[in-house]
Amino acid sequence: MTAGSISDWGKPRGWTVRSSAGLRAPFRPSRARPRTSCMSSPSLVASRALWSWLGRLDPRYPVSFLITLILVLGEARYGILGGYDRLITALGVSTATELVLSRTVRGRFASVQSAYITGISLALLVKPRAGLLWPFALGGFVAIASKYVLQYRGRHLWNPSNFAISLLVLAAPGSIAILSRQWGNDLATNAVIWCFGLLIVSRVRMLHVTLSYVACFVALAMVRSMITGGPLLADIAPLTGPMYQLFIFFMVTDPKTTVSTARGRMIVAAAVALAEAVIRLAGDFHVAALGPLYPAPPILALAIVGPLAKAIDLYREPDGAKRSVIDSTSTP
């Protein structure tokens, strides 16, 4: 191998390789970029591995982790459960109902992850008068039973815990309320919940639903603030509360009860936010006809809009058509 000459600009013209036959073939040095330290850093490799692992997981597992995280943080810092007997009742009845109905209706025991998420959601969100446990027992039974009874074309229309909470609030408004107080001003607690929540809904391909709802909520809060003259921050602040965190990360993004297209899911999220804004405005102006909806505007807005949108989506689906739907059991 002989070196080529150097040009007037100081750049090598290349190298030549002399073969055994005496012919010269050009030799081109590799132009591959050297690996930088950041490309092989342990933290980056670990992050990519975690991201890939989350993508392969059944969506129910990260969702179960997130709602457990909310439960642990909320109880440790603020005591939002109000008693572990409530959690045990909600989880026990939800799980038992899931096992009995799945065995009776389908001939096999179903996974209890949906019941687990539903039970925790009820324990966190339902706030009855002191000493009452029947709302958690009834709520757990109704939530899981609704999946097997209230179906259209083989699919249930309501998110289980959304249906149960809506029914409880409408049937016994004097005895039952929902969790409405905020976590407080602890930025770290909210940051942990939001970071994990956004990560998980992203990996289950529902981030567009969460972001659509939040964007519409903020925009409509601005409209409400202009109409009522109230402070804008007061209208936006509920997004930092545990009820809304459960709502935007679990209920409105439930894969089993959302419509089949991404665009449709974004439209439904906007419609839910609009229905909620209408309910809140009606409350501001004391419209008696919508009075029963005032205790839980987002929960009841989803209970009205979501099933209607899902039924229309299923009706438009051709018989026997195979749809691309995330295969997971229903979240709370």
pLDDT tens by residue, 257-294: 999 999 999 999 999 999 999 999 999 999 999 999 99
Per-residue confidence (pLDDT) for residue 111, from 0 to 100: 87
CA distances from 134 to 47, 131, 139, 161, 176 (A): 45, 9, 8, 15, 11
Per-residue confidence (pLDDT) for residue 82, from 0 to 100: 83
Is 310 within 8 Å of 155 (Cβ atoms)?
A: yes
Structure tokens at 308: 């209607």
Is 95 within 8 Å of 145 (Cβ atoms)?
A: no
Per-residue confidence (pLDDT) for residue 218, from 0 to 100: 96
Per-residue confidence (pLDDT) for residue 129, from 0 to 100: 87
Query: Token pair 């690996």 is at which residue?
Result: 35
Domain parsing of the chain, residue ranges:
58-315
pLDDT per residue as tens digits for the range 173-222:
988 988 765 455 667 777 878 888 888 888 888 999 999 999 999 999 99
Task: Band the pLDDT of 88: cuts 50, 70, 90.
Answer: very high
Which H or E run includes 214? helix 207-228
CA distances from 323 to 151, 259, 288, 318 (A): 17, 11, 42, 10
Quote the CA–CA distance of 242 and 239 in Å, as a whole number.
Answer: 8
Per-residue confidence (pLDDT) for residue 2, from 0 to 100: 46
CA distances from 321 to 230, 242, 255, 266 (A): 49, 39, 18, 23
Quote the CA–CA distance of 129 and 176 in Å, as a whole number.
Answer: 7
SS3 44: helix
Per-residue confidence (pLDDT) for residue 29, from 0 to 100: 52
Rg, C-alpha atoms of the chain? 27
Which H or E run includes 236? helix 232-236
pLDDT per residue as tens digits for the range 17-40:
444 444 455 545 555 555 544 445
Quote the CA–CA distance of 248 and 45 in Å, as a whole number.
Answer: 30
Residue 54 has pLDDT above 50, yes or no: yes
* Percent of the chain at pLDDT exceeding 70: 76
CA distances from 191 to 6, 63, 194, 201 (A): 60, 17, 5, 15
User: How high is the mean pLDDT of the chain?
Assistant: 81
Residue 304 has pLDDT above 60, yes or no: yes
Which residue spans within 50-149 are E strands per DSSP?
126-128
Segment among 39-48, 123-132, 189-198 with least mean pLDDT: 39-48
Residue 136 has pLDDT above 80, yes or no: yes
Per-residue confidence (pLDDT) for residue 39, from 0 to 100: 44
pTM of the model: 0.77
Per-residue confidence (pLDDT) for residue 61, from 0 to 100: 74
| Highest-confidence segment of 117-121, 148-152, 217-221 | 217-221
Residue 102 has pLDDT above 90, yes or no: yes
Per-residue confidence (pLDDT) for residue 11, from 0 to 100: 44
Segment among 32-46, 65-79, 146-160 with least mean pLDDT: 32-46
Task: Band the pLDDT of 79: cuts 50, 70, 90.
Answer: confident
Task: Band the pLDDT of 60: cuts 50, 70, 90.
Answer: low
Task: Band the pLDDT of 242: cuts 50, 70, 90.
Answer: confident
Residue 108 has pLDDT above 70, yes or no: yes
Is 231 within 8 Å of 237 (Cβ atoms)?
A: no
Per-residue confidence (pLDDT) for residue 325, from 0 to 100: 41
SS3 245: helix
153 Rama class: left (phi>0) / alpha (psi -120 to 50) / beta: left
129, with CB counted inside 10 A (0-12, 13-18, 19+), is exposed
